[in-house]
Amino acid sequence: MNYTIDIVKKEAVELLGQLISIPSFSKEEKEVANHLQQWITDRGMECKRLMNNIYATHSTFDPSKPTIVLNSHHDTVKPVNGYTKDPYLPIIEDGKLFGLGSNDAGGSLASLIASFVYFSQQAPLAFNLCLIASAEEEISGKNGVELVLNDADFQNHLKGSSIIGAIVGEPTRMQMAVAERGLMVLDGVAKGQAGHAAREEGLNAIHLAIQDIEAINAIEFKKVSELTGKTTAKVTVIETENKAHNVIPSNCRFVVDVRVNELYHFEEVVEMIKQVVQAELQPRSFRLRSTMIALDHPIVKAGLALGIPYYGSPTTSDKALMHFPALKMGPGNSARSHTADEFIFIEEIEQGIEGYIRLLETIQPTS
């Protein structure tokens, strides 16, 4: 088949409908990975698999050229309350394709795959393309894109070609998200003393936790980024193991969602929070650090030449797990992610494909 832009647009919409119909919660992506692997193989691309991650290159792959990664994820969150449509039934109404994962990030994934297929029949670019359809993005899992990038077989597949950058598909309205705030989750435990509620005995751990929560909420992170804004720390969960109404709880656990701009180190923020609380605090991980791709990177320069605006993103993606510069960019709107009756406009998918193709054709890697 001759994969013209019109044909790959049509196939992208069809593929996204197929992906919507296959439940693919994080860590449960086997069936959708099977489908993607077969779909890409059927179009003549060399396709490899690592757990539920799929990666592919063109037959014209040249180890003497650098490589740009095209990445998006195929896992989804579970449907939120409030759906009026079947989340697994792809329906097109009023130019919108409805379904779970259609916007985040199925539209980006289908558009990147379509662009990858399109370039399989074009004159070779000044760089190789490597497609990675990854798992576990929604939970920042360790068996997603991070697993692929550190895998020896994947590295051997590149035959010595160096990765100079990536385009990470997420709904950004096809604007360039050049920076992201990092994500750090802290587990806190306020420790009191158990007692009988009727006799006003003990030291109520809930009261201690509330004092700590108020102190966290009052922290002022003074370094504000022009791209990603403020660093924020918000308590999102609070609980005790005690279920009896007449017992003063001795422990109260809470969770702090911390979004860190590129002006702070995670360790610095942890110490700032520890200074104002009595509770024990333990970071779950420092993996998802803030990232930024330079404005003079060839991918961004190409976007600027095309008049594409750039901004800093408050949300975190697989971009945070890449050890090379990465630009987050894709069709759809982040505000629709994880909402009931999720959808993406068909026109957004088509414009996404056109935008990716123009961007890739404009990139001039430095020597």
pLDDT digits (tens, 9 = 90+) for 159-184: 999 999 999 999 999 999 999 999 99
| The architecture CATH gives domain 185-283 | 2-Layer Sandwich (3.30)
- Residue-level pLDDT at 98: 98
Between these two residues, 366 and 127, which has the higher pLDDT value? Answer: 127
Asked if 285 and 209 touch (Cβ cutoff 8 Å), the reply is no
Residue 297 DSSP SS3: coil
Please check whether the two domains, 5-180+290-362 and 185-283, share a CATH topology. Answer: no
Smallest CA-to-CA distance from 209 within 153, 168, 250, 159 is with 250
Give residue 46's pLDDT band: very low, low, confident or very high (50, 70, 90): confident
Q: How far is CA 9 from CA 6, 12, 37, 38, 116, in A?
A: 5, 5, 19, 19, 12
- Residue in the structure block whose two tokens are 């989750």: 185
Alpha-carbon torsion, ordered 18, 20, 22, 25, to 10 deg:
150
**Under a CB-based contact definition with an 8 Å cutoff, are residues 193 and 330 in contact?**
no
User: How far from the centroid of its chain's Cα atoms is residue 260's Cα?
Assistant: 16
Mind listing the pLDDT tens digit for each residue in 242-289? Answer: 889 999 999 999 999 999 999 999 999 999 999 999 999 999 999 999
pTM of the complete model beyond 0.75: yes
CATH code of domain 5-180+290-362: 3.40.630.10
In the chain, domain spans: 5-180+290-362, 185-283
Write the pLDDT tens digit of every residue in 289-345. Answer: 999 999 999 999 999 999 999 999 988 999 999 999 999 999 999 999 999 999 999
Give ∠ CA 322-326-329 in degrees, rounded to 5: 125
The pLDDT tens digits for 181-234 are 999 999 999 999 999 989 888 999 999 999 999 999 999 999 999 999 999 999
Nearest C-alpha neighbor of 106 from the set 77, 84, 142: 77
Residue 199's pLDDT is what? 86
Q: What is the mean pLDDT of residues 44-66?
A: 96
- CA–CA separation, 357 vs 174, rounded Å? 12
CA distances from 346 to 102, 111, 141, 245 (A): 10, 11, 30, 54
Rounded Cα–Cα distance for residues 169 and 5 (Å): 19
What's the pLDDT score for residue 367? 57
- Cβ atoms of 259 and 314 within 8 Å: the answer is yes
pLDDT, tens only, 73-105: 999 999 999 999 999 999 999 999 999 999 999
pLDDT for res 366: 80
